[in-house]
């Protein structure tokens, strides 16, 4: 009976992983103000503090929106109104030497303070924009991408 209970408990712990394949969340939303969504597999997800963010998710804010999130390596990302950021790649397995943080700001404003990946492997941190790539060598930066239609 004890083995059955232990087996069932283990399965319950693994179920959240099966819901998203084998992907682990890259982090979670810390704060949300106004209109903000996560786009996952082309579907908008209501966003609130604590919502988990996964690889290939996009963070999107409306004209009245802003949000901040914290990644597993303690990187902090904030985006302002009318912004969109795609989480292209996040690998955080220091024991295996797998470190990568690649995001793309499609429009709007973002501020970032790098975490452990930026300290251990600054060359593995990249923030892309429609016109340039930012290779992070420090710990904090802010960037704005103008809407070409304005």
The residue segments making up the domain with residue 97 are 23-145
Alpha-carbon distance 40 to 98, whole Å?
24
Closest CA to 112 of 120, 41, 96, 104: 104
Please report whether residue 15 resides in a domain: no
Please report whether residue 34 resides in a domain: yes
Q: Tell me the pLDDT tens digit for each residue of 71-112.
A: 999 999 999 999 999 999 999 999 999 999 999 999 999 999
Helix (H/G/I), strand (E/B), else coil: 55: coil
Total domains in the chain come to 1
Is pLDDT above 70 for 15?
no
1 is written with which tokens? 């009976």
CB 70 within 8 A of CB 112: no
Please report whether residue 7 resides in a domain: no
Please report whether residue 5 resides in a domain: no
Please report whether residue 14 resides in a domain: no
Please report whether residue 40 resides in a domain: yes
How many C-beta atoms surround the C-beta of residue 129 within 10 A?
16
Is pLDDT above 70 for 28?
yes
pLDDT given for residue 150 in this prediction: 54
Higher pLDDT, 80 or 131: 80
Please report whether residue 29 resides in a domain: yes
Helix (H/G/I), strand (E/B), else coil: 99: strand
Please report whether residue 107 resides in a domain: yes
């Amino acid at each position: 009976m004890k083995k059955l209970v232990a087996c069932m408990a283990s399965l319950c712990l693994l179920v959240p992983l099966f819901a998203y394949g084998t992907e682990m969340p890259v982090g979670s939303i810390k704060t949300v103000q106004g209109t903000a969504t996560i786009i996952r597999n082309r579907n908008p997800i209501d966003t609130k503090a604590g919502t988990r963010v996964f690889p290939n998710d996009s963070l999107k804010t409306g004209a009245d929106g802003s949000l901040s999130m914290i990644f597993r390596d303690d990187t902090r990302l904030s985006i302002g109104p009318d912004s969109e950021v795609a989480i292209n790649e996040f690998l955080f397995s220091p024991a295996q030497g797998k470190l990568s943080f690649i995001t793309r700001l499609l429009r709007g404003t973002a501020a970032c303070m790098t975490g452990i990946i930026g300290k251990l492997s600054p060359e593995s941190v990249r923030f892309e924009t429609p016109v340039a790539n930012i290779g992070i060598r420090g710990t904090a930066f802010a960037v704005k991408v103008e809407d070409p239609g304005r």
